[in-house]
């Protein structure tokens, strides 16, 4: 299992490092610079709004299906035949609820137009993720890795044509950006469906109410968990745009989006790791295999990454943001350090939350997520009117550390994990060394060389403290 995890993680990261940074910094960032913070801030708030209720598209189907098919491969054809129809029914429910809520909170004509396409995009994303859950459950990780970057690759191609200097670039609007995403998601979902169909054989799409009731009873705890976590992870942009008056709300949401984009980018790697781990953990738990070594391996990788990202973002926040953006970088650079520190908590959640999900410990996770939502919303209500985007950033930071800490405690209790004090000492020593190296790095005259020095020496120190071992890594890769 360790070899399967490591080899497929390398492939997954390689593909995503080729595609997704170019999308985020080459396309998404360029669009914000072109259309302005206010226009992009409106899109960012609407996009986050479309995410808040998208649990109605899935109701836990994808997570439960991933775990269930990983443990019972023979159910693939039966589930696919029934669940495709259910996904389309849920799409109608999601669209109706989203548009009604949008009307209640006072969105206007322009916002409704964009929201309609964003709602359709969320359906396409959800449908593709469900289809991909079958691929990863069958441990077809290489195929799933290729599909995982297909939508972004198509978006890059379409948007590059639109943003190429000339007539189209001059007339480019935020609406075109959304339309380009829609086209890419349609093609991706169609291609993914054909791949899964090839693996399952011929299917007969059914609308079986009895099957739906039984399946949803098993999947709804997963749905509740996703909904609650979506609220405390994504509601910040919506609350900024709604709580602050007039253009100020859109502007602050846009400034927040500048820093959040980078957090979203690095969080993608956590999502990729969690996507690999869920079926692996599920199979290991079913076969009563010990999970401690897999936890240590995956947590070490994400924790080291998170610490390096957080420290470098704190010490080089202004330089990073000035390279990426044209306006409001003084404010967004300070936000960057705060949000990226929260990535340490997010990375921890991707490991221990995935482990508990694979184990079916949904009741405990849902109580944790509910507490996180209450904390985050309460802090946002208090801090946003006083500190605007900074209030949201601090609310997010506090929530991430509280919820991740709770998941670590739950995992230790549920799996009776024994603390490895030497390992913990090495982790703290690594953090101290990284901060020390950061202070040394800012002595460089050229900030970029200092930044590279910090990254390189921090990775080296991870090996020096024994968090990564070259010999053990080679042995794992060569193992059969």
Q: Each residue of 418-430: pLDDT tens digit?
A: 888 899 999 999 9
Residue of 63, 58, 398 lying closest to 236 (CA atoms): 398
The Cβ-side half-sphere exposure at 326, using a 13 Å CA radius, reads: 9
Please give the Cα distance from 24 to 454 (Å, whole number).
23
- The percent of residues above 70 in pLDDT, for the chain, comes to 92
Least confident of 83-92, 107-116, 136-145, 353-362: 136-145
Least confident of 142-151, 162-171, 347-356: 162-171
Query: Is residue 64 within 8 Å of residue 219, measured between CB atoms?
Result: yes
Mean pLDDT over each residue of the chain, to the nearest integer: 83
Does the residue 445 lie in any domain? no
Q: Domain total for the chain?
A: 1
| Residue 139 pLDDT > 80 | no
Does the residue 444 lie in any domain? no
Residue of 222, 260, 291, 220 lying closest to 390 (CA atoms): 260
| Residue 475 pLDDT > 90 | no
Token digits of residue 205: 């799409």
Does the residue 316 lie in any domain? yes
Q: Which residues, including other chains, have CB under 8 Å from residue 413's CB and lie 6 or more apart?
A: none
Instruction: Measure the CA angle with vertex 314, ends 313 and 317; round to 5°.
Output: 60
Please give the Cα distance from 57 to 238 (Å, whole number).
20
Please state the rounded mean pLDDT for residues 239-266: 81
| Residue 309 pLDDT > 80 | yes
> Residue 253 has what pLDDT?
81
Does the residue 17 lie in any domain? yes
Query: Is residue 294 within 8 Å of residue 273, measured between CB atoms?
Result: no
pLDDT tens-digit profile of 172-195? 888 888 999 999 999 999 998 888
CA 428 to the chain's CA centroid = 26
Higher pLDDT, 271 or 438: 438
* DSSP 8-state assignment for residue 417: P
Please state the rounded mean pLDDT for residues 243-266: 81
Does the residue 135 lie in any domain? yes
**What are the b/e assignments for 237-274, b being 16+ CB within 10 Å?**
bbbbbbbbeeeebbbbbbbbbbbbbbbbbbbbbbebbb
| Residue 293 pLDDT > 80 | yes
> Residue 108 has what pLDDT?
81
Please state the rounded mean pLDDT for residues 268-288: 81
> Residue 474 has what pLDDT?
56
Higher pLDDT, 78 or 260: 260
Instruction: Look up the pTM and report it.
Output: 0.72
The range of the structural domain enclosing residue 137 comes to 2-418
> Residue 451 has what pLDDT?
93
Residue 197: CB atoms within 10 Å = 14
Does the residue 249 lie in any domain? yes
Higher pLDDT, 396 or 231: 396
Does the residue 110 lie in any domain? yes
pLDDT tens-digit profile of 72-85? 666 677 767 777 78
Residue of 41, 66, 57 lying closest to 92 (CA atoms): 57
Query: Is residue 284 within 8 Å of residue 348, measured between CB atoms?
Result: no
| Residue 462 pLDDT > 80 | yes
Query: Is residue 76 within 8 Å of residue 370, measured between CB atoms?
Result: no
Least confident of 24-28, 195-199, 371-375, 451-455: 24-28
Does the residue 436 lie in any domain? no
Please give the Cα distance from 145 to 143 (Å, whole number).
5
Query: Is residue 322 within 8 Å of residue 329, measured between CB atoms?
Result: yes
> Residue 169 has what pLDDT?
72
> Residue 72 has what pLDDT?
67
For tokens 């939508």, the residue is: 151
For tokens 């899935």, the residue is: 58
For tokens 């991706």, the residue is: 188
Higher pLDDT, 86 or 397: 397
Residue of 66, 205, 59 lying closest to 136 (CA atoms): 66
**CA dist list (Å): 41 to 45, 103, 249, 430:** 6, 19, 8, 37
Token digits of residue 424: 């913990």
3-state helix, strand, coil in the chain (%, to 5): 85, 0, 15
Higher pLDDT, 403 or 17: 403
Query: Is residue 51 within 8 Å of residue 234, measured between CB atoms?
Result: yes
Please give the Cα distance from 72 to 186 (Å, whole number).
30
pLDDT tens-digit profile of 203-227? 777 777 777 787 777 777 777 787 7
**CA dist list (Å): 465 to 336, 343, 418, 462:** 28, 22, 21, 5
> Residue 476 has what pLDDT?
54
Query: Is residue 94 within 8 Å of residue 254, measured between CB atoms?
Result: no
For tokens 């995890």, the residue is: 5
Please give the Cα distance from 235 to 258 (Å, whole number).
16
Q: Per-residue confidence at 308, pLDDT binned at 50, 70, 90?
A: very high
> Residue 15 has what pLDDT?
74
């Amino acid at each position: 299992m360790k070899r399967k995890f490591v080899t497929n993680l390398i492939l997954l990261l390689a593909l995503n490092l080729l595609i997704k940074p170019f999308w985020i910094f080459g396309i998404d960032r360029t669009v914000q610079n072109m259309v302005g913070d206010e226009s992009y801030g409106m899109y960012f708030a609407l996009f986050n709004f479309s995410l808040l209720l998208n649990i109605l598209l899935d109701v836990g189907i994808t997570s439960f299906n991933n775990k269930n098919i990983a443990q019972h491969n023979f159910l693939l054809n039966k589930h696919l035949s029934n669940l495709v129809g259910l996904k389309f029914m849920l799409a109608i429910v999601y669209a109706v609820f989203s548009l009604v809520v949008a009307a209640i909170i006072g969105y206007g004509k322009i916002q409704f137009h964009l929201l309609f396409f964003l709602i359709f995009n969320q359906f396409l994303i959800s449908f593709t993720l469900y289809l991909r859950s079958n691929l990863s459950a069958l441990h077809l990780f290489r195929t799933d890795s290729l599909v995982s970057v297909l939508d972004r690759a198509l978006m890059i191609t379409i948007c590059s044509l639109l943003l190429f200097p000339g007539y189209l670039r001059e007339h480019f609007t935020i609406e075109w950006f959304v339309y380009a995403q829609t086209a890419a998601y349609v093609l991706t979902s169609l291609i993914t469906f054909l791949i899964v169909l090839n693996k399952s054989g011929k299917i007969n799409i059914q609308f079986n109410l009895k099957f739906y009731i039984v399946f949803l009873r098993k999947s709804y705890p997963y749905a509740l968990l996703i909904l609650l976590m979506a609220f405390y992870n994504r509601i910040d942009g919506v609350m900024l745009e709604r709580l602050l008056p007039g253009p100020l709300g859109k502007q602050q949401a846009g400034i927040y989006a500048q820093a959040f984009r980078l957090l979203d980018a690095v969080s993608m790697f956590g999502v990729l790791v969690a996507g690999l781990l869920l079926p692996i953990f599920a199979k290991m738990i079913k076969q009563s295999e010990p999970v401690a070594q897999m936890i240590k391996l995956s947590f070490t990788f994400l924790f080291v990454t998170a610490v390096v990202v957080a420290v470098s973002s704190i010490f080089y926040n202004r330089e990073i943001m000035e390279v990426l953006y044209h306006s409001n970088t003084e404010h967004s650079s300070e936000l960057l350090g705060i949000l990226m520190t929260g990535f340490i908590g997010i990375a921890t959640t991707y490991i221990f939350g995935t482990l508990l999900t694979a184990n079916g410990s949904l009741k405990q996770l849902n109580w944790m997520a509910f507490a996180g939502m209450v904390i985050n919303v309460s802090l946002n209500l208090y801090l946003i009117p006083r500190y605007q985007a900074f209030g949201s950033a601090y609310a997010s930071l506090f929530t991430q550390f509280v919820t991740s800490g709770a998941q670590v405690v739950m995992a230790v209790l549920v799996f009776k994990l024994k603390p490895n004090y030497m390992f913990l000492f090495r982790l703290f020593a690594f953090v101290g060394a990284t901060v020390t190296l950061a202070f040394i790095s800012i002595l460089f005259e050229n900030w970029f060389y200092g930044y590279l020095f910090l990254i390189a020496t921090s990775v080296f120190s991870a090996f020096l403290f024994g968090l990564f071992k070259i010999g053990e890594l080679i042995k794992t890769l060569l193992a059969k």
